[in-house]
Amino acid sequence: MTESGSALAETLARDGIEVSHEGAYPIAAPASEAEVVAIVERAARDGLKVLPIGLGTKLDFCRPEAAEGACDLALSMRKLRDVVAYEPGDGTLTARAGARMGELARTVLAGGHRLTPDVPHPDEATLGGVLGASQSGPDRTRFGPVRHHVLGVRVVRSDGTIAKSGGRLVKNVTGFDLHRLYCGSRGTLCVVLEASLRLFAEPEREAALTATYPAARPALEAAEAVRALPIAPLAVTLEGVDEDFRLHVFLAGHSEQVRWEADEVERVLGDAERRDDEGARCHRALVRDLGRRNGRWPAFRMVCLPSQLPSAIDSTRDFAGARGLQPRFLAQPFAGIVDVFLPGDAATEPESFVALASELRDLLAPAEVRLDPLAVPAAVHRALARTNDEGPAARWMTRLRESFDPAGTFASPLFPCRA
């Protein structure tokens, strides 16, 4: 905890803002927009760094402690959690950043709508946190990533002013899409106060099919066969543990259509376990939350073209196997995303783990497979954070960051660039 951070925390507490001291830095939890503005302004005045968070469940993504002095105080939006507007007739939802995704999903379900993204552990995820991390759920297979459904946001900028972008309309091109820039900016540009999302119809019926394969390739071939069908699955997830690769296909929609689709998928998968409606819903939640099962193991995310998945998974297995590790995989094959978990004690010796991670990254790079740290020790995070700080893309990101936060009031956890 930095000295100045504690001092600020004390001041805030005196002003009646709730401050807790559980982790590496104090966490302030404002109860109003005015308090959010006050915190940002105060931090800016004192030259301190503020890290906007929700409940802090996604801090693994950015590891603020990886960069020294990156954060003096966390600003948790968890208390600002109400629904601002749910318009059932227009299919849109506006809520404050601290709203829990699970609660929002239940709210709109009452009006017959479905909230996307269907993120893991939705009751522990806030809207602001999901947007900050640009976290999509397995349902991106049908709906696309969360950034496609953010209709607008209101934010607090680093100078304490409140600014909006977009609106609450399902179609709107008025002004720059700053909400797209903020989505996934991990709190480095602004604090999100509230956001609007587009909603979808709650399906009449769901179905889930699960088939098991002895290796990644046949499982991915099956996924490919599903993709070739004239259907749009809600989610397709591949789960790989040891020699056991399970492909889960989730369907949702009109009753008759889902029944037909399930038959088709069953035909393609061969021997598959089939679940309907409530069973399918429960199974979907279970598979969605699988990542947690892998606990505190170090994890990476591989991002590549879908066609590169088989070789990405195989080479990762071979690479890890040669080092006595048995990686587990959780993939969304249609999106070209694989989360890799390394069970065991791979990370107990940080130095050798840094070497291992860098080697894996270099191994995958030629096939244009990107390796992002997901939950790794700070040292590994530091080693894997963007290395291409040179070049026009990094330049644009740096300039954006400097333009939106010239004084560096928001924490800079090695993102979007190392600098």
Partner 1 sequence: MDRRTLDRLASIVGEAGIVADRMRRLAYESDGLTLEREMPELVLLPRDTDETARCMRVLHEAGIPVVPRGAGTGLSGGATPVPGGVTIGTARMRDVLEVNASDRYAIVQAGVVNIAISRACAKHGLFYAPDPSSQKACTIGGNVAENAGGPHCFRYGSTTRHVLGLVIVTAEGEVLDLSHPVADPDGYDLIGLFTGSEGMFGLATEITIQLTPMPAATQTLLAIFPSLDAACESVTDIIAARLEPSAIEILDKLTIQAVEASVFAAGYPTDAEAVLLLDIEGGELEVETTVKGIEPILARHGRLELRSARDAEERERLWAGRKGAFGAMGRIAPDLYVADVVVPRTRLREIVRLATDECTKRGLKMSNVFHAGDGNLHPNISYDRRDPDEVERVLAAGRAIMQACVDVGGSLTGEHGVGLEKQEQMKLLFSPADLAAMDLARVALDPDRRMNPGKMLPLRACMETRTRPIPGGMRAEEARP
Considering only residues 177-196, where is the footprint of partner 1 by CB under 8 A?
Answer: 177-178, 180-181, 183-185
Binding residues for partner 1 restricted to 326-355, rule: CB under 8 A: 332, 335-337
Q: Does residue 250 interact with partner 1 by CB under 8 A? A: no
Backbone phi and psi for residue 365, each to the nearest 5 degrees, phi listed first:
-55, -45
| Beta carbon nearer to partner 1, 178 or 354 | 178
CA angle 396, 400, 403 (to 5 degrees): 135
Q: Does residue 87 interact with partner 1 by CB under 8 A? A: yes
DSSP 358-396: HHHHHHHGGGT-EEEEEE--HHHHHHHS----SSHHHHH
The correct pick among 245, 250, 353, 415 for binding partner 1 (CB under 8 A) is 415
Q: Does residue 368 interact with partner 1 by CB under 8 A? A: yes
Q: Does residue 172 interact with partner 1 by CB under 8 A? A: yes
Q: Does residue 174 interact with partner 1 by CB under 8 A? A: yes
Task: Tell me if 98 sits within 8 A of 54, measured CB to CB.
Answer: yes
Binding residues for partner 1 restricted to 251-270, rule: CB under 8 A: 253-257, 260-261
Q: Does residue 165 interact with partner 1 by CB under 8 A? A: yes
The correct pick among 23, 47, 69, 112 for binding partner 1 (CB under 8 A) is 112
Q: Does residue 38 interact with partner 1 by CB under 8 A? A: no
Binding segment for partner 1 (CB under 8 A), chosen from 7-15, 120-128, 169-177, 237-245, is: 169-177
Q: How many residues bind partner 1 (CB under 8 A)?
A: 79
In angstroms, what is the minimal distance from the CB of 53 to partner 1?
19
Binding segment for partner 1 (CB under 8 A), chosen from 224-232, 311-319, 340-348, 353-361, is: 224-232
Q: Which two tokens stand for residue 328?
A: 């587990």
> Is 330 exposed, middle or buried (CB count within 10 Å of its CB: 0-12, 13-18, 19+)?
buried
- Alpha-carbon distances of 326 from 50, 217, 314, 355, 367, rounded to whole Å: 38, 17, 12, 18, 22
In angstroms, what is the minimal distance from the CB of 38 to partner 1?
17
Contacts of 308 (CB under 8 A, 6+ apart): 336, 367, 368, 369
| Beta carbon nearer to partner 1, 140 or 328 | 140
Q: Can you tell me the distance from the alpha carbon of 356 to that of 98, in angstroms, rounded to the nearest whole number?
A: 37
SS3 298: coil
Q: Does residue 161 interact with partner 1 by CB under 8 A? A: yes
Q: Does residue 202 interact with partner 1 by CB under 8 A? A: yes
| Beta carbon nearer to partner 1, 118 or 261 | 261
Binding residues for partner 1 restricted to 284-303, rule: CB under 8 A: 303
The long-range contacts involving 226-232, CB below 8 angstroms and separated by at least 24 positions, are 226/265, 226/268, 226/269, 227/334, 229/261, 229/264, 229/265, 229/268, 231/261, 231/264, 231/265, 232/142
